[in-house]
């Protein structure tokens, strides 16, 4: 498919975007023009997906690649407590080996999730490349001073995580080792689900003191929070909500801590823990914030080694 054929296809498939009241100038110009919702601050993120690292054309369907492109960015917005309307800018760096069928499948997955999550594709760029890459910029909105950040945790705060962790990590490791990823784990790697509602719940009710999505691994993302907040943390190994199928394997920290879980990791002051009651079934307490240091301990109090476990973007 040639460049302008692809652009015309995108304009046609995402024509439903044109009617959004906040999008003044949609796809087709050098820039897009957006009117911000009155009384909100903009929250913006950008993520890159590279073939052979973040996705596999062999093990992911084209639709799953498109959906993951959108969902990993939505997970970032969830961690800030952002709400819609969401606006996206898509960049495709396409090798000659990528077929029209694959491109249409990817765009179909993006289109489907744009409708599902209320995302408007506002623009982007297309270029040729030796490596298949997909980049997406996404914006959402928060009320003034309600954005969740990594820097608000204080000693004594409780540490929670949503959902389960570990499945994506092991699927990725199997893939990188040249093995066929276990289908039960692959599904989680290919199909993350952004926790938008929980992020908004925590932000709008001012419950969480700090928050991050679990993209680099539970241990590394906990360190991100402690470093930004100037505190320490103690996590409880036996309370980590490890994916049930993976838990049967007697997992080690390296099996569950690499990343790609896209859950929310957050801290809550003791006096606000009771406010979590409406989402108790979706979260697990896994530790506490301390004055300094970082450690993971088992139920006997023995330290579990987790140093250097987590996703490294540039080695």
Nearest one of 111, 61, 60 to 88, comparing CA atoms? 111
Q: Phi then psi for 199, rounded to 5 degrees?
A: -60, -45
Q: For tokens 């608000």, what's the residue? A: 152
Q: How far is CA 227 from CA 39, 104, 287, 291, 296, in A?
A: 31, 42, 16, 11, 16
The answer on 210 and 131 residing in a single domain is no
pLDDT of residue 26: 82
Please check whether residues 55 and 108 belong to one and the same domain.
yes
**Residue after which a domain boundary falls, among 142, 167, 202:** 142
Same domain, 94 and 214: no
Quick one: 193 and 110 in the same domain? Answer: no
Using 50 as the pLDDT threshold, list the residues of the chain that sit under it. Answer: 314
CATH of the domain at 25: 3.30.1330.10
Asked, for residue 72, whether it belongs to a domain, the answer is: yes
Domain co-membership, 133 together with 180: no
Tens-place pLDDT, residues 59-72: 999 999 999 999 99
Query: Is there a single domain that holds both residue 116 and residue 191?
Result: no
pLDDT of residue 28: 82
* Number of independent structural domains in the chain: 2
Provide the domain limits for residue 222.
158-304
Residue 194 lies in a domain: yes
The verdict on residue 148 lying in a domain is no
The model scores a pTM over 0.75: yes
Give the pairing of strands 294-297 and 232-236: parallel
| Statement to judge: residues 179 and 259 lie in one domain | yes
Asked whether residue 149 is domain-assigned, the answer is no
Does residue 312 lie in a domain region? no
Whether residue 313 is contained in a domain is answered as: no
Instruction: Write the pLDDT tens digit of every residue in 155-177.
Output: 999 999 999 999 998 998 899 88
Assigned token pair, 270: 């003791």
The residue with tokens 């784990």 is: 185
Q: Is 315 inside any structural domain?
A: no
Question: CB burial class (10 A; 0-12, 13-18, 19+) of residue 245?
Answer: middle
Residues 198 and 62 in one domain: no
* Residue 138 shares a structural domain with residue 166: no
Q: Which of 142, 167, 182 is a domain's end point?
A: 142
Q: Do residues 188 and 236 share a domain?
A: yes
Residues 291 and 183 in one domain: yes
**Does residue 128 share a domain with residue 22?**
yes
- For strand 23-25 and strand 33-34, is the pairing parallel, antiparallel, or unpaired? antiparallel
- Can you tell me the distance from the alpha carbon of 288 to that of 311, in angstroms, rounded to the nearest whole number? 23
pLDDT value, residue 72: 96
Domain of residue 187, CATH code: 3.90.650.10
Q: What pLDDT does residue 21 have?
A: 85
Residue 311 pLDDT: 62
pLDDT for 17: 67
Residue 312 has a pLDDT of: 59
Instruction: Compute the distance between CA of residue 112 and CA of residue 12 in angstroms, rounded to an integer.
Output: 14
Q: Per the domain annotation, does 233 fall within a domain?
A: yes
């Amino acid at each position: 498919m040639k460049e302008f054929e692809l652009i015309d296809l995108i304009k046609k498939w995402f024509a439903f975007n044109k009617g959004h009241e906040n999008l003044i100038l949609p796809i087709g110009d050098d820039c897009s023009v957006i009117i911000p919702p009155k009384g909100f601050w903009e929250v913006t993120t950008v993520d890159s997906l590279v073939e052979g690292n973040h996705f596999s054309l062999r093990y992911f369907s084209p639709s799953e690649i498109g959906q993951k492109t959108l969902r990993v960015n939505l997970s970032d917005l969830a961690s800030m407590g952002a709400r819609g309307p969401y606006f996206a800018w898509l960049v495709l760096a396409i090798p000659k080996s990528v077929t029209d069928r694959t491109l249409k499948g990817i765009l179909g997955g993006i289109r489907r999730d744009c409708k599902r999550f209320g995302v408007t594709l506002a623009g982007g760029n297309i270029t040729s490349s030796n490596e298949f890459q997909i980049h997406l910029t996404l914006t959402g909105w928060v009320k003034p001073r309600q954005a969740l950040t990594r820097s608000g945790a204080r000693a004594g705060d409780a540490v929670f995580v949503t959902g389960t962790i570990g499945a994506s990590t092991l699927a990725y490791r199997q893939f990188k080792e040249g093995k066929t990823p276990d289908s039960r784990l692959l599904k989680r790697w290919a199909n993350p689900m952004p926790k938008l509602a929980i992020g908004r719940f925590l932000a709008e009710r001012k419950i969480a003191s700090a928050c991050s999505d679990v993209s680099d691994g539970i241990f590394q993302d906990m360190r991100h929070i402690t470093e930004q907040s100037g505190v320490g943390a103690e996590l409880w190994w036996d309370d980590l909500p490890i994916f049930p199928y993976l838990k049967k394997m007697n997992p080690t920290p390296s099996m569950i801590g690499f990343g790609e879980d896209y859950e929310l990791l957050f801290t809550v002051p003791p006096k606000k823990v009771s406010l979590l009651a409406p989402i108790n079934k979706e979260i697990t307490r896994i530790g506490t914030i301390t004055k300094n240091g970082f450690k993971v301990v088992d139920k006997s109090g023995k330290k579990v080694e987790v140093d250097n476990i987590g996703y490294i973007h540039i080695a």
